[in-house]
């Protein structure tokens, strides 16, 4: 399983000034997201995404960011829409992945909302 520390080492361009504030269960999901974001920057000329905050809110992932080095050429609706789409997909998927262990999970009802598998929810 990928850890937050691995993500920080692997994506220094995206995680310049922020550490993910989530449990390790979502790190594989974040790895896929950031891999796609960075690949599109390097291969397709998309603007560099720099995370400003990565956290859990209401049981799902929130990925806040800004884009760096945006020129007129890079700042078009298609590229911006693709970045938003990738992030939105990851945020939606997080509602089905246990934040603690990465197994299939669901957001609990009532109390502090958190996406957990049955096993992790019982330990909580």
Q: Enter the DSSP assignment of 15.
A: S
pLDDT for res 75? 58
88-113, pLDDT tens digit by residue? 999 999 999 999 999 999 999 877 89
Q: How far is residue 81 from each of residues 10, 76, 89, 94, measured CA to CA in Å?
A: 25, 8, 12, 20
Shortest CA distance to 47 belongs to which of 8, 81, 15, 79?
79
**Best CA proximity match to 102, nearest among 23, 8, 34:** 23
pLDDT tens digits for 26-83?
Answer: 999 999 999 999 999 999 988 899 999 999 999 999 999 999 876 655 556 667 889 9
The domain total for the chain is: 1
Cβ–Cβ under 8 Å, residues 16 and 50: yes
pTM of the complete model: 0.91
Domain encompassing residue 64 = 4-123
**Higher pLDDT, residue 81 or 1:** 81
């Amino acid at each position: 399983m990928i850890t937050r520390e691995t993500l920080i080492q692997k994506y220094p361009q995206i995680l310049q000034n922020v550490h993910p504030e989530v449990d390790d269960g979502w790190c594989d999901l974040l790895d896929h997201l950031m891999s796609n974001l960075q690949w599109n920057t390097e291969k397709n000329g998309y603007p560099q995404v720099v995370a400003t905050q990565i956290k859990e809110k209401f049981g799902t992932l929130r990925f806040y960011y800004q884009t760096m080095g945006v020129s007129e050429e890079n700042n078009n609706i298609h590229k911006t829409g693709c970045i938003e789409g990738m992030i939105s997909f990851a945020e939606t998927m997080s509602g089905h992945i246990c934040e603690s262990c990465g197994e299939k999970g669901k957001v609990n009802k009532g109390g502090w909302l958190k996406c957990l598998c049955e096993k992790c929810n019982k330990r909580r």
